[in-house]
A and B are shown apart, each in its own frame.
Chain A
Amino acid sequence: MMPLDGMSRARRAAYLLAPMLVCLAVYWRAPFVWFRMDDFSWLGLPLDAHNLGLFHVLFHPEGQGTVRVLSERLFFLVLSAVFGLHAWPFRAVALGTWLADLALIQLIGARLTGSRAAGLWAAVLWTMSATLVLPLAWASAYNEVLCAFFMLAAFYARLLWLESGKVRWRWIEAGAYLLGFGALELMVVYPVLVMVHAAVNPQARQRWSSALWMFVPAAAFGLAHMYLIPKTASPAYQLFLDRRLLGDFFAYVLWTVGPSRMEVVDAAWRQPGIALSKLIAVVLAAFALWKLWRREFAALFMGAWFVIVLAPVLPLANHLSDYYLTVPGIGLAWLAGWAIVSAWRAGWPARAAAMLLAGLYAAGSIAEVDRIAAWQMNVSAYMRVLVRALEDTTAEHPGTALVLTGVSQDLYLAGFLADPFRLLGIHEVWLAPGQDQILDRPDLEGTDRFRTSLEQLAPRLARGDIRALQISGATVVDVTAAYSAVVSALYADAHPNFVDAGDPVYTSALGAGWYSIENSARWIGKSATLDIGRVTSPQSRLYVTGHAAPAAVEASAVTLRFLADGHEIGTAKISQPGPFTVDFPMPPGSAVARITVECSRVMRAPGDSRDLGMILRTFTVR
Chain B
Amino acid sequence: MRGLRAALPLLVAFLALGPAGCKRKKKEQTPTPEPAAVLLSTVNVSDPAGAVQLASGFFELESNTWRWTARKFTVVLRPPEGAGERGARLELHLNLPGVIVDRIGPVAVSAEIGGRALAPERYAQAGDYVYVRDVDAGSLRSSAVAIHFSTDKALPPGGADSRELALIVTAVGLAAK
**Are B76 and A490 in contact (CB-based, < 8 A)?**
yes
Whether B57 contacts A489 by the Cβ 8 Å rule is no
Is B60 a contact of A481 with CB atoms below 8 Å? no
Chain A binding surface SS class = mixed
Alpha-carbon distance A159/B48, docked complex (angstroms): 62
Q: Are A489 and B52 within 8 A (Cβ)?
A: no
Output the least CB separation between B92 and chain A (Å).
Answer: 17
Contact across chains for A408 and B60 when beta carbons are under 8 A apart: yes
Please report which residues of chain A, range 442-496, place their CB below 8 angstroms from some CB of chain B when the two chains form the complex.
442-443, 468, 470, 472, 475, 477, 479, 481-486, 488-490, 492-493, 496
B32 at the interface (CB under 8 A from A): yes
* B65 part of interface (Cβ distance < 8 Å): no
Q: Which residues of B contact A577 (CB under 8 A)?
A: none
A462 to B: closest C-beta gap in Å = 9
A486 with B39: CB separation less than 8 A:
yes
A590 touches B116 (CB 8 A): yes
- Give the residues in chain A near B28, CB-CB below 8 Å: 515-516, 610
Please encode chain A, from 506 to 529, with 1 for each CB lying within 8 Å of some chain B CB and 0 for all others. Answer: 011111111111000000000000
Q: Most B CB atoms within 10 A — which of A485, A510, A513?
A: A485
Q: A436-B56, A485-B38 are in contact. Are A609 and B138 (CB under 8 A)?
A: no
Q: Convert B133-170 into 0s and 1s, putting 1 for each residue whose CB lies closer than 8 angstroms to a CB of A.
A: 00010110111111000000000000000110000000
User: A396 in the interface, Cβ–Cβ < 8 Å?
Assistant: no
**Interface footprint category on A:** 35 or more
Encode B100-121 as 1/0 by CB contact (under 8 A) with A.
0000000000000011100000
Q: Is A441 an interface residue (CB 8 A)?
A: yes
B25's partner among A508, A512, A607 (CB-CB below 8 A) is A607
Given A434-B57, A434-B74, the answer on whether A590 and B31 have CB atoms closer than 8 Å is no
> Which residues of B are found within 8 Å of A565, using beta-carbon distances?
138
Q: Which residues of chain A are near B145, meaning CB under 8 Å?
A: 489, 493
- Chain B residues with CB below 8 A from A492, complex form: 142, 146
Q: Please report the C-alpha to C-alpha distance between residue A485 and residue B146 in the assembled complex, in whole angstroms.
A: 11
B139 near A592 with CB under 8 A, answer yes
Contact A443-B162, Cβ < 8 Å, known A507-B35, A592-B138:
yes
CB-defined contacts of B35 to chain A, threshold 8 Å: 481, 484-485, 488, 507-508
Within 8 A of B (CB), among A377-434: 405-406, 408-409, 433-434
| Contact assessment for B142 and A608 in the assembled complex, using a CB-CB cutoff below 8 Å | no
Specify which chain B residues have a CB less than 8 angstroms from the CB of A443 in the assembled complex.
162
Q: Given A468-B52, A490-B55, A493-B114, check contact A590 B36 (CB 8 Å).
A: no
User: Would B48 and A508 count as touching, CB distance under 8 A?
Assistant: no
CA distance in complex: A168, B171 (Å): 74
Which of chain A's residues have a CB closer than 8 A to the CB of B76? 485-486, 489-490
Q: Does A270 contact B (CB under 8 A)?
A: no
What is the bound-complex CA distance between A594 and B83, given in angstroms?
13
Residues of B within 8 A of A594 (CB): 84, 138, 141
Q: B residues bordering A, Cβ < 8 Å?
A: 23, 25-29, 31-32, 34-36, 38-39, 48, 51-53, 55-57, 59-61, 70, 74, 76, 84, 114-116, 136, 138-139, 141-146, 162-163
A-B contacts besides A443-B162, A609-B26, 16 pairs, CB < 8 Å: A409-B60, A434-B56, A434-B74, A470-B52, A481-B38, A485-B76, A489-B143, A507-B35, A508-B35, A508-B36, A511-B141, A515-B28, A533-B114, A591-B139, A592-B114, A607-B25
Sample (21) of A-B pairs whose CB atoms are under 8 Å apart:
A406-B51, A470-B48, A470-B51, A472-B51, A481-B38, A482-B38, A485-B39, A486-B52, A488-B36, A489-B144, A490-B76, A508-B143, A513-B31, A515-B31, A590-B116, A591-B116, A594-B84, A594-B141, A609-B26, A610-B27, A610-B29
Q: 3 nearest interchain CB pairs?
A: A434-B56, A590-B138, A489-B144
